[in-house]
Structure 1
Amino acid sequence: MLAITTYPATTIDPKLPDLLIVHGLFGSARNWGVIARHLADVRTVHVVDMRNHGSSLRAETQSYPDMAGDLAEVITSLGAPMDVMGHSMGGKAAMHLALTRPELIRKLVVADIAPVAYSHDQSQYIAAMRALDLTGLSSRSEADRRLSATVDDPALRAFFLQSLDLKAQPPVWRLNLDVLEDQMPLIVGWSGIDGQFGGHTLFLTGALSHYVKPEYRETIRNLFPKSHFARLPGAGHWLHAERPREFEQAVQVFLKA
C-alpha cells in the first residue's frame, strides 16, 4: 500500500469524512504538510506518497488505472467514503477513481488539471534532476545553487528539492526517475474512461495557469455533472504553493458546504 502521513483532527465534526490529499508529479506528502495541518481543524487528513514517489512502492507503471487502484486501497483500508483532493497528476488519478469507484468519494477537489490529454512534456525536469551534481552535496542551499544551472524558477527548484534525500550518502532522489520518464506519455495523457461521478466536484485553478481551458468545460461537465469552478488570482499551476492560505480557504468552503 502507499505510504501515508496522517494528521489527526484538532476537533471532530461528525458530519465530515476524512480527507485524502493526493500530490502531483515529482511531489510527495511532505509538500502538503502545512496545508494538511490547517485542513485538519475539524477532520482527520491523510496525505499519500504516490507510487514511484517519496517512500511508496517502486513500480513499473504509472498509469491512471494503477494509481486509482492504489488510492482505492488506501480509502478502503482507512474507511470509505472520504473527501479527496488531488493536484495535477494526483487530480487525474482522483478523477479516474471517482469515475470508476464513485462509492469511495463524497466530494472531490481537482486542483489545476482537467480530464484531457496534454501535449506538453515534463521530461526536461527529469533531465535536470539527473544532471544535478550530487558529489559532496550536504546542504539544500548548495543543491539549489547547482540546480539553478538548469531550472530558472526558484519556486520549482524548492519544490523539486523536497524530493532530494540529503541524509543519504550520497544524496538520492526520492523519485523513480526511470519509470516516470518511461511513463510520461501516460502521465500527461488521459485514460479516456467513460462514466460519471455524481458527487460535487470543485475544479480549482490558478488564474495564471492554462491547464484548465474554457473549452474543456463541456468534457468536465459530461463526466462531473455537479462540477463547480473557481480560480485563485495571482496563482499558476502550483497554486497551493503560490497562494496556500487562499487555496485552503477555497477548499474549506467547498468541503464544508
Structure 2
Amino acid sequence: MSLHRTELGQTGSRVVFCHGLFGQGRNWTQIAKALSADHRVLLLDMPNHGRSPWTETFDYLDLADIVADAIGDEPVTLVGHSMGGKIAMCLALRHPELVERLVVVDVAPVAYASGREFVGYIETMRGMDVASIERREQAEEALREAVPNPVVRSFLLQNFRRTEDGWRWQVNLDLLGEHMASLTGWPGEALGPATYDGPVLWVGGAGSDYISDEHAGEMDRRFPRNRRVLVKGAGHWVHSEQPEVFLEVLRRFLA
C-alpha cells in the first residue's frame, strides 16, 4: 500500500508525522515547515484517511506495518497524535530498528472505555445527504447542530472534497464506524512482552484526559525511557492549540 506523502526539507535527520482520527498529513504542515530548515520531514496520510488508500479491516499492528513500509530503512524520529500515536507506538514496538526516538501526543498505550464522541461524528457524517450538497457552506450547515464547536466542525470538513462526480468524504467512515472498539482499543496481547528502549517523549494537553497518572505504569513498562510533558492551555489537539510551545518541546527533544 502506497501512502500519500508530503516531504519537506533536504538536510538533517528524518522526522515522520502520523496524524490522528479524521486528520491528514497536512495537519502538521505548520510544525513541519518550522522543522524543515534542520530536518527532512515526512507527512503521511494514514490508511483510510486523506489521499491514502483504504483497508478492509482496522488493526493497529497492520497499520503500523504499512507505515513502516512507507518510512523505509533509515531510522527516524516518529511523531504520532491520538490514533497516529497508537500506530507510532505499535511501530516502535514491532520495528524498533526504524525508530531512533518516539514522540507520542496525547494518547497512552491503553484501551479507552468509550469512543462515543467519535461515533457521533461518524454517524452525523454518514447520515448527511452528500448528493444534495452543492457548496461547502451547505455541508457546514448540515453539521452545525450535531457538531456545535466550530473548530471541530472545520476540522471534520477538511475531509469533505469535491470530485468530478460531486462531493464526497475522503475518510473511510464505514470502516471506522464499524471498528470503533478496535480504534479506541490497544492490541496489548498481540504485542506480547515487546518493549521499546529508545528515548520517548509524551506530550499531553493539561486540559485533556487522554493521559493520566493511571496510565503511567503501562507507559513505563512498554517504554522505559520516557518522559512526560503537559502543555498548559491545551486539550487533546496539543499541536494545533499551542503550536509554539509544542514546537519548542519537540525541538529540544530532537536536539
- Consecutive unaligned residues in structure 1, runs of 5 or more: none
CA distance in 1, matches of 2:207, 2:54: 34
C-alpha deviations, 1:54-90, integer Å up to 9, x for none? 11111111211111001110112xx410110000000
1:83 is matched with 77
1:229 is matched with 228
2:102 is matched with 108
1:56 aligns to what SS in structure 2? coil
> What TM-score, normalized to structure 1?
0.92
Moved more, 221-230 or 166-175: 166-175
Deviation at 1:139, TM superposition (A): 4.2
C-alpha contact (below 8 Å) 1:30/1:162 kept by paired residues: no
C-alpha contact (below 8 Å) 1:139/1:166 kept by paired residues: no
C-alpha contact (below 8 Å) 2:9/2:38 kept by paired residues: no
1:117 aligns to what SS in structure 2? coil
The amino acid of 2:252's aligned partner reads: V
1:115 aligns to what SS in structure 2? coil
Count of equivalent residues: 249
Alignment of 1:204-215 (within 5 A): 204-215=203-214
Alignment of 1:194-209 (within 5 A): 194-209=193-208
Alignment of 1:131-170 (within 5 A): 131-135=127-131, 137-170=133-166
1:155 aligns to what SS in structure 2? helix
Deviation at 1:255, TM superposition (A): 1.4
Deviation at 1:168, TM superposition (A): 4.7
CA distance in 2, matches of 1:69, 1:30: 21
Calculate the aligned-residue CA RMSD, in Å. 1.5
The amino acid of 1:106's aligned partner reads: E
C-alpha contact (below 8 Å) 2:76/2:98 kept by paired residues: yes
C-alpha contact (below 8 Å) 1:92/1:115 kept by paired residues: yes
C-alpha contact (below 8 Å) 1:137/1:166 kept by paired residues: no
CA distance in 2, matches of 1:116, 1:211: 10
Deviation at 1:138, TM superposition (A): 4.5
2:237 is matched with 238
C-alpha contact (below 8 Å) 1:31/1:162 kept by paired residues: no
Identity %, equivalent residues: 38
Once superposed, which parts of structure 1, at least 4 consecutive aligned residues long, lie more than 6 Å away?
Answer: none
C-alpha contact (below 8 Å) 1:64/1:93 kept by paired residues: yes
CA distance in 2, matches of 1:20, 1:143: 32
1:210 aligns to what SS in structure 2? coil
1:40 is matched with 36
Does residue 1:124 correspond to 2:123, yes or no? no
C-alpha contact (below 8 Å) 2:4/2:44 kept by paired residues: yes
CA distance in 1, matches of 2:136, 2:229: 35
Residues 128, 140 of structure 1: alpha-carbon distance in 2 compared, 3 angstrom cutoff: same
- Consecutive unaligned residues in structure 2, runs of 5 or more: none
2:21 to 18, 21, 25: 25
